Amino acid sequence: MAEPSPGAVATTPPPHAVVLTGAPLTLADVVAVARDDAPVHVGPAAVAAMRASRAVVEALADDVVPHYGISTGFGALARRHIPAARRADLQRSLVRSHAAGSGPEVEREVVRALVLLRLATLTTGRTGVRPVVARTYAAMLDAGLTPVVPEHGSLGCSGDLAPLAHVALAATGEGEVRDRHGALHPAAEALAAAGIEPLVLAEKEGLALINGTDGMLGMLALALHDVATLLTTADVAAAMSVEALLGTDAAFAGDLVALRPHPGQAASATNLRRLLAGSQVMASHRTLTEAGELACTRVQDAYSLRCAPQVHGAARDTVEHARLVATRELASAIDNPVVTRDGRVESNGNFHGAPVAYVLDFLAIAVADLASMSERRTDRLLDPARSDGLPPFLADDPGVDSGLMIAQYTAAGVVSELKRLAAPASVDSIPSSAMQEDHVSMGWHAARKLRHAVDGLTRVVAVEVLTAARALDLRCAGGLRPAPGTEAVRALVRAHVAGPGPDRYLAPELEAVVGLVRTGAVRAAADAAAGPLA
């Protein structure tokens, strides 16, 4: 079958392009295309693989034996044989009927990740689509055209059907898209403006475009990128709190941590030691009395300080497990049926989202616990009964001023929500398609929860950074110097938020610090002064 030109296809890969060869993408590739609009190029090896598998599909199109997705209906309708004259209608109807999402639009970066990941599977040559299908998806990404995908519609089995169908619908010139500036357009008009010919789907192609775990995997890739920064930032916040609360780094000693050889715990403890090294604040309460005894009699800190490496480290190990699962999924060719290397077209169950769904839920648990411990440190900094001499709520004139009292309320409210979001989605299943699809993963829902959870953790850690920075200001008013790592973060915060004083409108200051946490600026400042941090 002749291949119409999709338009706007580069003949050579532009600089820094993500080149699709049929080999697995990396997590960094996904983030680069989803967030940074990195260009995408379909390489010649991928084109050759797609042409080979397409030949297999076309050879079966006239077979009297029914083949799922080529000459049959779908799901519970798979026993219906479709005559050759109706097979183009079959694929078009599949996409139209499955584009049945509802609710608010999914974020641009998520849709772009979803499109890229489906494209990556197409280029493996295991789906039987023509190269023009892949080139059209690449052209849409490069043109900045983002199909409108509603939030609700996927059960995470048979792939993220409805979200992927909305993308396929846009590629055929139906539905709506947003341009790179966010303006909404009918898909046909936007494709025409970009010089992209709408797809006319041939046998199996509609099915190949909707049968993957790409939505949940895309959200997992983005979450892993964000949580990696937040893990280190949580260590930074904990170090600031330990220092401001006159805690000790003795419990973070390498030989003690090695007694329980979890790699994440070791990495977190190393970060804390580096961040607290050289602190005059910590040294100040290790002085001796005239009798030669330590002036400070406290022998151990509260769990939220002393056990930070254990909790933060367990979260790190959880993230590494999730990264392993994501890497395996990126190396997968998910479709049903799939074209094997020896030319068979076989039904399978690889579209089931359980492997991804489980780690999405697992990450939500770790995120909630990180936030819970962070909020406890914030509360300790504000409580004069536990803060070792700091004013109540770090207020300028307690009673007249409330200081950061309500910032802790905000953190507590978010933590409460994160506990609800930690309830797993993957243990649920509602049968669909007349009981043909009688067990589903709900992985899309697990991914949507995790996105909210990562945002919540960002905000809770920001409250701790804001609070600990003010506590260090007050603790150091007599001339003591914090450790270089914590001081760098305190100075960064002060470049955006004023120091202690009478009460001010607090929400903009908190949002400023949320931005510093989210962009990685807090981590970068600490790393430059005390690093390298893990």
Q: What is the model's pLDDT at position 4?
A: 42
Is 29 inside any structural domain?
Answer: yes
Annotation says 68 is catalytic: yes
482-526 per-position pLDDT tens digit? 999 999 999 999 999 999 999 999 999 999 999 999 999 999 999
pLDDT-derived band at 1, boundaries 50, 70, 90: very low
301-346 per-position pLDDT tens digit? 999 999 999 999 999 999 999 999 999 999 999 998 899 999 898 8
Residues 202 and 251 reside in one and the same domain:
no
Q: Which range of residues forms the domain containing residue 273?
A: 223-307+371-530
Distance CA 241, CA 483 (A): 12
Q: What is the model's pLDDT at position 333?
A: 93
Of the residues 157, 191, 212, the one at which a domain ends: 212
Residues 380 and 270 reside in one and the same domain:
yes
Residues 65 and 174 reside in one and the same domain:
yes
Q: What is the model's pLDDT at position 280?
A: 93
Distance CA 303, CA 321 (A): 25
Q: How far is CA 364 from CA 108, 145, 214, in A?
A: 22, 31, 19
Residues 122 and 250 reside in one and the same domain:
no
Of 68, 137, 358, 505, the catalytic one is 68
Closest C-alpha among 457, 499, 447 to residue 233 = 457
- Whether the Cβ atoms of residue 263 and residue 316 lie closer than 8 Å to each other: yes
Domain with residue 271: its CATH number is 1.20.200.10
Of the residues 212, 239, 258, the one at which a domain ends: 212
Q: What is the model's pLDDT at position 287?
A: 62
CA 55 to chain centre: 37
What are the beta bridge partners of residue 184? 178
Structure tokens at 189: 């008009």
Distance CA 163, CA 167 (A): 7
Q: What is the model's pLDDT at position 156?
A: 87
436-482 per-position pLDDT tens digit? 778 888 899 999 999 999 999 999 999 999 999 999 999 999 889 99
- Whether the Cβ atoms of residue 330 and residue 124 lie closer than 8 Å to each other: no
Q: How many residues does the chain have?
A: 534
193-203 per-position pLDDT tens digit? 999 999 999 98
Of the residues 212, 241, 269, the one at which a domain ends: 212
**How many separate domains does the chain show?**
2
Is 379 inside any structural domain?
Answer: yes
217-258 per-position pLDDT tens digit? 999 999 999 999 999 999 999 999 999 999 999 999 999 999
Supply the DSSP string of 122-145, one letter for each residue.
HTTT-S---HHHHHHHHHHHHTT-
CA 109 to chain centre: 10
Closest C-alpha among 467, 518, 460 to residue 243 = 467
Whether residue 73 has pLDDT greater than 70:
no
Residues 46 and 136 reside in one and the same domain:
yes
CB neighbour list of residue 319: distance below 8 Å, 6 or more residues apart: 224, 227, 228, 231, 264, 363, 366
Distance CA 71, CA 73 (A): 7
Locate all alpha helices (DSSP H) within 245-335, ordered by sequence. 254-257, 263-276, 280-284, 303-306, 308-330
Closest C-alpha among 3, 8, 462, 534 to residue 273 = 534
